[in-house]
Structure 1
Amino acid sequence: MESHYKGKTGFKRVVNAFKYSCAGLSAAFRHEDAFRQEVFLAIILIPLAFVIESQLLGRVLMISCVLLVLIVELINSAIEATVDRISLDDHRLAKRAKDIGSASVLVCLLNLVIVWVLVLLS
């Protein structure tokens, strides 16, 4: 059975999608400590990317890596919420899903550090 929201088209769908996205960002900020920490990191790093002397491409890469961390954290939080919704019981597959989601955030953070170091050293 499909959601009754799937029938919306045109501008109404865009408005609804924007509202749902804002609600998701708000929920993540309210309920996810890691997301809040990464938002504060972004508040520091994104303006810093404009202050640091680098080529346009370097700035784009630096900012993109910061935003990618936020994106992957949102996806990880969605995975964790879904797993918790299904069951709070300890299960090896639930643990695996959560651990893999967490690993994806770690890889993004490592990517951020590597890109920032390389841009700063170039």
Structure 2
Amino acid sequence: MPIKKSIVTGVAHFFQATGYSIQGLVSTYRSEIAFKQEVALVPVILIVAWFFFGFPYALLLTGMWLIVCAFELCNSAIENIADLVMPEKNEFIKRAKDAGSAAVGVAVVANLLTWLYVIFV
């Protein structure tokens, strides 16, 4: 059965898209332990970054962690679609899931390097 495409535009589209984004955040938070852990670190990062560093660096560090969260959301999307398409073990699906996980790992490393820069420069 084909999905009926919405033809909502303008402000209504903005609110509809915002609703979908919130649903995605809530759904991923409920189902993914890694995303819960990353979200749990947001207040810690906010407090440390804003208390110890000036506005520009705190903004940079907060943004970098939000990028990690965004990559985790993408990784969860890849895993959900992969599991739907091919629930049994498959080498191509494994590679797709591993690539999503690697993307999160690269974002975490970039985050750590940014923290090291801010702390030591």
TM-fit CA distance, 1:83: 0.3
Per the alignment, residue 70 of structure 1 pairs with 69
Q: How many percent identity over aligned positions?
A: 33
Distance, in Å, in 2 between the alignment partners of 1:47 and 1:2 is 47
TM-fit CA distance, 1:2: 7.2
Report the number of matched residues: 121
Matched, 1:43 2:43: yes
Q: Which runs of 5 or more residues in structure 2 are unaligned?
A: none
* Aligned counterparts, 1:1-122, within 5 A: 3-54=3-54, 56-122=55-121
Distance, in Å, in 1 between the alignment partners of 2:60 and 2:67 is 10
Aligned-residue CA RMSD (Å): 1.6
The amino acid that maps onto 1:17 is A
Q: TM-score, normalised by structure 2?
A: 0.92
TM-fit CA distance, 1:61: 1.8
TM-fit CA distance, 1:6: 3.2
TM-fit CA distance, 1:46: 1.7
Q: CA contact under 8 A between 1:42 and 1:66: conserved in structure 2? A: yes
Distance, in Å, in 1 between the alignment partners of 2:12 and 2:101 is 35
The amino acid that maps onto 1:85 is L
Q: CA contact under 8 A between 1:50 and 1:59: conserved in structure 2? A: yes
Distance, in Å, in 2 between the alignment partners of 1:9 and 1:39 is 31
Deviations 1:52-97 (A, max 9, x none): 134x332222111111000000000000000011111111110000
The amino acid that maps onto 1:88 is P
Q: CA contact under 8 A between 1:46 and 1:66: conserved in structure 2? A: no
Deviations 1:79-116 (A, max 9, x none): 00000111111111100000000000001111111100
Q: CA contact under 8 A between 1:28 and 1:77: conserved in structure 2? A: yes
Q: Which runs of 5 or more residues in structure 1 are unaligned?
A: none
Q: Which moved more, 1:1-10 or 1:16-25?
A: 1-10
